[in-house]
């Protein structure tokens, strides 16, 4: 038996009779996750219309995009504790209510600060929904094999949601206006709430004594960490605000971890990380999230600013990743039953690494065929997350599934931020190195426009447009530089995923299965 089997054995005590409503209940949970994930990306295509209507500053525009993820990440641990104490279905319904009612405020919002506040409130709803969906799958599916299939469907919705967000948002914005991108949530949440009341059983985890200092430290630490990652990605590693946020995050989270380790029943049981299979699953979640966030961001820019596709056309061309992941995720448990959970997780990360490497091989001759191949391989990687999730849940007792869900969702959120910040920063550094001040002077760029032109491809194209006929050469050079930077990111992302594959191979016990038992 593997070293981790005692912990897994504790999680194998299951009621004999399966819940007859479990698969319909799963559909409700998957639909919930789909909408929450879509909200991470749906705003991107609405930003031009919002900018024209509300005239936000560049800082306000960034807050509109970032505040949702900041609030979700900051509240995940607290939301998991609330669900364990007051009931997971109850907190899920509260999340539905927030996610359905808050978008109605968009009808009266007429300023950037108001829209930022609205997005923050949506983040509260998202934080209440996300960990509850995963832990309730543990409650609905007592059989580990069925649970793995259910988690495959759940993981598929995460990938499909990321792909559908820009498409649905683009259609709504193009057909109506930017308000529709928010109002889409309301009818879906009404239906989801009715279905949840009818189909989902109530459950609780191990309710621990309220520890308000730990709650404050977790919210402050995670929010500061996400802000620091995003700030460094946008403004560099020497940005004073990002450095201050980093210090706050390190201090708060270190204090939170030490406090959790000293308490017999902590808000978040950090001791769970001692189980190597759970840590392996978290590495899968973190690195795969980094990969998906980075590739979706950079490919969306390449398609719109280099290939000149519209937002809807871009969304459609980003679907291969979502389709592959959506199709393969439910099949991953069957594959794991044949070749083993460790092989599936490691193989998925390796496929993703190769998918990133394809971008580097494209070089100056990057074309859509290579982009499709890259998306397909990264989609295979995302599909194996179902196994990572199954391993995470099987490695803990049922009453601690809320903690396990909070750890995995936190890994997803941090991975999303890191993907944009770190790999996005690599692309920015490469782009700046290829667009020099001397080159810009040769195109007749005024001195006060040099930095905006070197800041991003969008900035360079805007400067080129102002130059008229002289800007054609600058535009072509900037597009070529961005394509080159995409290739370098492919090399860096590929190396990261292959390194993660080695780590997961070393962490995962030999013979681990989705049932959580070794052979």
Query: Using one digit for the tens of pLDDT, what is the confidence trace for 467-486?
Result: 877 788 888 888 888 888 88
Instruction: Using pLDDT thresholds of 50, 70 and 90, give the confidence band for residue 44.
Output: low
409 found inside a domain: yes
- Greatest mean pLDDT among 291-300, 380-389, 450-459, 474-483 lies in 474-483
For residues 224 and 501, the model is more confident at: 501
Q: Mean of the per-residue pLDDT values for the chain?
A: 81
329 found inside a domain: yes
Are both 395 and 305 inside the same structural domain?
Answer: yes
Instruction: Using pLDDT thresholds of 50, 70 and 90, give the confidence band for residue 17.
Output: low
Closest CA to 45 of 313, 271, 241: 313
Both tokens assigned to 486: 């995409």
Closest CA to 347 of 357, 359, 361, 335: 335
Task: Quote the pLDDT of residue 504.
Answer: 92
Are both 191 and 335 inside the same structural domain?
Answer: no
- Give the whole-angstrom CA distance, residue 484 versus residue 493: 14
Domain count within the chain: 3
415 found inside a domain: yes
Are both 492 and 381 inside the same structural domain?
Answer: yes
Say whether pLDDT at 325 is over 70: yes
Judged by average pLDDT, the poorest of 222-231, 240-249, 372-381, 510-519 is: 510-519
Say whether pLDDT at 98 is over 60: yes
Are both 438 and 289 inside the same structural domain?
Answer: yes
What region does 86 belong to: left with phi over 0, alpha with psi -120 to 50, or beta? alpha
Helix (H, G, I), strand (E, B), or coil: what is residue 444? Answer: coil
Are both 183 and 255 inside the same structural domain?
Answer: no
Contact 157, 382 (CB under 8 A): no
418 found inside a domain: yes
16 found inside a domain: no
What residues make up the domain containing 260? 209-266
Say whether pLDDT at 6 is over 70: no
Q: Give me the mean pLDDT over the 339-360 stretch.
A: 91
Given 207, 226, 255, the domain boundary residue is: 207
Say whether pLDDT at 514 is over 80: no
Query: Torsion angle, CA of 124/128/130/131, rounded to 10 degrees?
Result: 130
- Give the whole-angstrom CA distance, residue 450 versus residue 103: 40
Q: Give me the mean pLDDT over the 165-185 stretch.
A: 82
Which residues touch 203 (CB under 8 Å, ≥6 apart)?
A: 87, 88, 89, 135, 136, 139
481 found inside a domain: yes
3 found inside a domain: no
Are both 490 and 385 inside the same structural domain?
Answer: yes
15 found inside a domain: no
Given 207, 235, 256, the domain boundary residue is: 207
Are both 310 and 246 inside the same structural domain?
Answer: no
Are both 88 and 100 inside the same structural domain?
Answer: yes
Task: Quote the pLDDT of residue 114.
Answer: 92
What is this structure's pTM? 0.76
Contact 154, 133 (CB under 8 A): yes
Are both 368 and 494 inside the same structural domain?
Answer: yes
Say whether pLDDT at 456 is over 50: yes
CATH at residue 59: 1.20.1250.20
Are both 178 and 237 inside the same structural domain?
Answer: no
Are both 343 and 424 inside the same structural domain?
Answer: yes
- Give the whole-angstrom CA distance, residue 26 versus residue 284: 23
Task: Quote the pLDDT of residue 437.
Answer: 83
Are both 221 and 167 inside the same structural domain?
Answer: no
């Amino acid at each position: 038996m593997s070293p981790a089997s005692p912990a897994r054995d504790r999680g194998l005590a299951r009621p004999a009779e399966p819940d007859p409503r479990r698969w319909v209940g799963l559909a409700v949970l998957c639909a919930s996750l789909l909408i929450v994930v879509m909200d991470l990306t749906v705003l991107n295509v609405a930003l031009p219309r919002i900018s024209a209507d509300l005239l936000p500053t560049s800082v306000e525009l960034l807050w509109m995009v970032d505040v949702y993820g900041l609030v979700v990440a900051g509240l995940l641990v607290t939301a998991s504790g609330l669900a364990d104490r007051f009931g997971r279905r109850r907190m899920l319904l509260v999340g539905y209510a927030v996610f359905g009612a808050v978008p109605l405020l968009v009808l009266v919002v007429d300023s950037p600060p108001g829209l930022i506040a609205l997005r923050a409130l949506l983040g509260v709803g998202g934080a209440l929904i996300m960990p509850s969906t995963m832990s309730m799958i543990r409650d609905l599916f007592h059989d580990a094999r069925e649970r793995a299939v259910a988690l495959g469907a759940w993981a598929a919705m995460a990938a499909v949601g990321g792909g559908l967000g820009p498409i649905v948002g683009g259609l709504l914005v193009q057909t109506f206006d930017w308000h529709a991108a928010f109002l889409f949530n309301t009818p879906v949440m009404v239906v989801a709430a009715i279905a949840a009341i009818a189909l989902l059983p109530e459950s609780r985890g191990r309710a621990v004594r309220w520890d308000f200092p730990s709650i404050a430290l977790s919210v402050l630490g995670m929010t500061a960490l996400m802000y620091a990652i995003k700030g460094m990605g946008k403004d560099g590693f020497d940005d004073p605000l990002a450095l201050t946020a980093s210090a706050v995050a390190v201090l708060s989270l270190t204090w939170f971890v030490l406090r959790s380790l000293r308490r017999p029943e902590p808000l978040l049981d950090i001791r769970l990380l001692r189980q190597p299979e759970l840590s392996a699953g978290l590495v899968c979640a973190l690195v795969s999230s980094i990969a998906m966030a980075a590739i979706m961001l950079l490919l969306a820019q390449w398609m719109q600013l280099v290939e000149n596709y519209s937002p809807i056309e871009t969304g459609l061309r980003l679907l291969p990743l979502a389709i592959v992941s959506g199709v393969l995720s439910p099949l991953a448990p069957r594959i794991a039953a044949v070749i083993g959970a460790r092989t599936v997780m490691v193989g998925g990360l390796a496929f993703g690494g190769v998918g990133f490497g394809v971008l580097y091989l494209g070089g100056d001759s990057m074309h859509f065929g290579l982009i499709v191949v890259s998306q397909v391989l990264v989609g295979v990687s995302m599909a194996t997350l179902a196994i990572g999730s199954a391993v995470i849940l099987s490695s803990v007792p049922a009453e601690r599934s809320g903690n396990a869900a909070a750890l995995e969702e936190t890994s997803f959120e941090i991975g999303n931020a890191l993907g944009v910040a770190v790999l996005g920063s690599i692309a920015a550094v490469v782009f700046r190195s290829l667009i020099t001040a001397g080159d810009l002077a040769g195109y007749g760029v005024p001195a006060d426009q040099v930095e905006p032109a070197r800041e991003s491809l969008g900035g360079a194209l805007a400067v080129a447009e102002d130059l008229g006929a002289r800007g054609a050469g600058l535009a072509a050079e900037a597009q070529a530089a961005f394509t080159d930077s995409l290739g370098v990111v492919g090399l860096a992302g590929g190396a990261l995923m292959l390194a993660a594959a080695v780590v997961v191979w070393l962490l995962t016990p030999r013979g681990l299965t989705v049932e959580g038992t070794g052979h």
